[in-house]
Amino acid sequence: MKNKGDGIIIYHQKRRSPNKVFLAFLGILVFIAFYVPFFGSNLQYQTGTVFKYIFNMIGNLFLILGGASLIINILKVFGKRISIGGFTISILLLWIGAFLTGTSFTIMGFLIGGNRPPIGYH
């Protein structure tokens, strides 16, 4: 007795017809063509506000994680377990967080984040 294909299941997945994909693409183009000329500046302001909020929240998270990591690494120094990589990661997290939120602070004499004046004649 031969086993011919026992346990093999063949499933044919239905594909979307190219007509539906084209109609969806055409619908997006029509929406852009009618919406953007009338409400484009408002849409630009709204998306900018949303992205500013998202990047500000990510920056705050990086500032919290970097500050906590820096405190932990400073406490490790007193336990004589110095981690240069840990300090580097914490300072990088603080730097990225300061860049995203626009805050500035000084660590060991180095200004991190904030708006710096342009170099050259003022």
User: Angle 84-101/18-78 helices, nearest 10 degrees?
Assistant: 130
pLDDT in tens, 9-23: 776 677 656 678 888
- Pair of tokens at residue 50: 């949303």
Following DSSP, what letter does each residue of 50-97 receive, concatenated? HHHHHHHHHHHHHHHHHHHHHHHHHHHHHTT---HHHHHHHHHHHHHH
Is the confidence at residue 3, as pLDDT, over 60? no
- Residue 68: the pLDDT is 94
pLDDT in tens, 54-89: 988 999 999 999 999 999 998 998 888 888 888 899
CA triple 100-73-106, angle to 5 deg = 45
Reduced to 3 states (helix: H, G, I; strand: E, B; else coil), residue 5 is coil
Backbone angles phi, psi at 110, to 5 degrees: -100, 130
Per-domain residue ranges of the chain: 42-113
